[in-house]
Chains A and B, each alone.
Chain A
Amino acid sequence: MNLVAAQKGSRKKRVSDTAAMSAPAYPPPYNPYASAVPGNMPPNMNMYDGRYVLPPPYTASPDYSRIHPSFPPADQGFSIPSQFLNEPLVANVAMQYGQALVGSGKQLVGQELEKYVPFSRIKYYFAVDTRYVTKKLGLLFFPFTHSDWSLRYEQDGPVQPRYEINAPDLYIPTMAYVTYVLVAGLVLGMQDRFTPEVLSIQASTALAWTVFEIIVELITMYITNIQTNLKTLDLIAYGGYKYVGIIFAVLLSILFHKTGYFIGLIYCSMSLIFFLVRTLKVQILPIGTSPSHHDPYMHNSGNKRRMYLLLFVAGIQPFLMWWLSFHLISPPVPKS
């Protein structure tokens, strides 16, 4: 670049050239602190000749020479800060400060968000793998031969669903919910009842009923003063498993209309009730005769209340399954 400057008859001195950033060389030919009226140029500006020279586009120095002109025109007297920032030293410091600020800002936002939506807790429910999902789906449809329903615990919480088939997860309920909305749209489309609003109506209705169910269960547990290890996310997970049954029943209704729908619904209800009773029995009812070593929250009181809660949670599933899907089945084609 110095070669270029020399070849150009030294008519241009690039201020941002780091090799030329010695103190005596820098200020005089480029005086950003003076007013940029041409008449005020200091007399020792022999490096410039008043013309606005475009720097060549490809240089090996940092590209600041492209940004600022070699001679500040008159109307840029107010752009002092940008010219100040164009020095690479200040720009580096500014960039590092900005990056540090962004990093700490992100951390702060993450912390605030964690208070309202516990992302780290939710991550536990998504720690699944393919083997777990296939086994769980098989269990949802045929839980009658599974024998061991207990949950293994680590020091601070239950084992991840990846390693424990009986642990609840949120992947299956979420996927089942989205699939339910799409299957509802598909089925309604096959009956020529489809508009895009229908999808959002289905989605919000199902969501509202799920939220309502969870709230009722939470209030019941609070009023009857039952202490369990069940958390809200567990309840959401168990409440979401019914969508798998709904999808199965609705898909059957495509082939076999009302008969298929009711057969599918009844079978899925029975298997889901069995599944929920066996799973929640471990978590709600106190464990037999052994004192609760690893479970300080379960008291041996209110057995009848716990039984009723269990039956309530398991029993409302078929009704909700029917309520969320009966409007999707098509009437059977009348035989002529």
Chain B
Amino acid sequence: MLGHLELADVERKRYRLPSCKHIACLIVFLQTLAVLNPFRTTDASILQDTDLAGPLVFCLALGAFLLLSGKVHFGYIYGIGVMGCLGIYALLSLMAVSAVTLGTVVSVLGYCLLPMVILSGINVVLSLQGLTGFVLTGLAIAWCSLSASKLFVTALFMDHQQPLVAYPCALLYGVFALITIF
């Protein structure tokens, strides 16, 4: 479990780097859960390293759950994801004083897609078209956009603009919810 150790030399053990992919995945998952807690105060250092593997995993998981519900929407997820990321990147680069990179935007939006993945997982077993489904969808969208906007606002040092950032994120996640439900 500790990476590629080809020879058991003492000298080699001195220089080995623990490249454990399983522990790294667990750490990423725990960080995601911690970050997505909307009641937690965050600091700007969490976005120092932009990680694109997590968002990719979440998009694939969303597509897999939709597949289980009988909908093949990978193209829609990709298209809406790309357009949404570009749009939010453009908006944030116009609104924020500090520099915005596309990697940061994709990383934050992808990580905050997790409640949508959970919603699509629920959609596999329950139908979301009733009143409870409506409420659950609203909660999921609110959770997604609140955590995304909180991450953006802390990372980009924007003041008094969190609802303004949350609204376009809510629109984007609303479109994802639409393709999940209908």
Contacts and interface: CB of A to CB of B under 8 A. Distances in A.
A56 interface: yes
A182 B15 contact: no
Interface string A135-178: 00000000000000000000000000000000000010011001
B12 A130 contact: no
A56 B12 contact: yes
A126 B96 CA distance: 9
Task: Find the residue from B12, B15, B174 having the highest chain A CB count within 10 A.
Answer: B15
Interface residues of A, number: 25
Interface string B94-107: 11000000000000
B150 to A, nearest CB: 14
B167 interface: yes
A126 B94 CA distance: 6
A129 B161 contact: yes
Given A4-B11, A60-B15, A175 B167 contact: yes
Nearest to B92: A126
Contact of A178 (B15, B17, B159, B168): B168
Interface string A109-149: 00000000001001100111111010000000000000000
Contact of A57 (B4, B87, B94): B4
Contacts of A133: 163-164
Interface in B1-41: 4, 6-7, 9, 11-12, 15-17
B20 to A, nearest CB: 15
A198 B7 CA distance: 63
A237 to B, nearest CB: 14
B11 A3 contact: yes
Nearest to B16: A58
B31 to A, nearest CB: 27
Contacts of A60: 15
Question: Which among A4, A58, A126 has the highest number of chain B CB atoms within 10 Å?
Answer: A58
Nearest to A60: B15
A273 to B, nearest CB: 26
Interface in B148-182: 159-164, 167-168, 171, 174-175, 182
Contact of B182 (A123, A127, A131, A189): A189
A179 interface: yes
Main secondary structure of the interface of A (DSSP, over half): helix
Contacts of A179: 171
A140 B154 CA distance: 31
A220 interface: no
Contact of A123 (B12, B94, B160, B162): B94
Contacts of B163: 130, 133
Contacts of B4: 57
Given A58-B17, A179-B171, A130 B164 contact: yes
A182 B11 contact: no
Given A58-B12, A171-B95, A182 B174 contact: yes
A129 B171 contact: no
B97 to A, nearest CB: 9
A129 B11 contact: no
Contacts of B95: 126-128, 171
A171 B164 CA distance: 9
A60 B87 CA distance: 44
Contacts of A59: 15
A126 B16 CA distance: 50
Interface string B121-136: 0000000000000000
Nearest to A128: B164
Nearest to A185: B178
A174 B88 CA distance: 12
B94 A130 contact: no
24 contacts: A7-B11, A56-B6, A56-B7, A57-B4, A58-B12, A58-B16, A122-B94, A128-B95, A128-B161, A128-B164, A129-B164, A130-B160, A130-B161, A130-B162, A131-B160, A133-B163, A133-B164, A171-B95, A175-B167, A175-B168, A175-B171, A178-B171, A182-B171, A189-B182
Interface of A: 3-4, 7, 56-60, 119, 122-123, 126-131, 133, 171, 174-175, 178-179, 182, 189
Given A123-B94, A129-B159, 13 more contacts: A4-B11, A56-B12, A58-B12, A122-B94, A126-B91, A126-B95, A128-B95, A130-B162, A171-B95, A174-B91, A175-B168, A182-B174, A182-B175
